[in-house]
Structure 1
């Protein structure tokens, strides 16, 4: 029963960060921040110039990560942040990685 409760406390969210967020170290800083918070998932650049981030963790961890995404790194300019909960079961990722651009 405890295992089920632990699994239920893990949420998954998909975020899209728009602005000047490519070529400024945003993804690498995102990896460091997520790993420091104990979050799993991934980050990748999109060909439209945005950065996409899938995060998995407790509601508290995700709130802290999303707050960080609103500002990013000092050299970034975040114009908008869109965050959506992933409601369907999402397989838990083992760590936080940087993926290739799509």
Structure 2
């Protein structure tokens, strides 16, 4: 059994008010990933992505561009090691 790769992304740029979270959910589901995405009070978007290594890599690359109206300036990627993995791919409230 393959271990799931887990990463927390913080995406900065013009990523709020442009459909970025909906796009992340749709893209994550299409890639068979689980996790969540939410807006942050500082204007960034935070996402937790969990899945097979190749799919996580594809998702990170996709997040560097985002949906058409977004402008991604930077992505900070932090590996995480969760004991309880999320089910499905969802949006969470802004923090």
Q: State the TM-score, normalizing by the size of structure 2.
A: 0.96
Normalized per residue, the structure richer in helix is: 1
The yes-or-no answer on 1:65 pairing with 2:59 is yes
After superposition, give the CA deviation of every residue in 1:23-52 in whole Å (9 maximum; x if it has no partner): 000000110000000000000000000000
Please give the TM-score of this superposition, normalised by the length of structure 1: 0.89
Larger gyration radius, structure 1 or structure 2: 1
What CA RMSD, in Å, does the superposition of the two structures yield over aligned residues?
Answer: 0.9
Answer yes or no: is 1:13 the counterpart of 2:16.
Answer: no
1:39 corresponding residue in structure 2 = 33
1:78 to 47, 51, 72: 72
Structure 2: 5+ residue stretches without partners: none
Unaligned runs of 5+ in 1: none
Structure 1 residue ranges, 4+ long, deviating more than 4 angstroms after superposition: none
Cα distance in 1 for residues equivalent to 2:82 and 2:69: 35
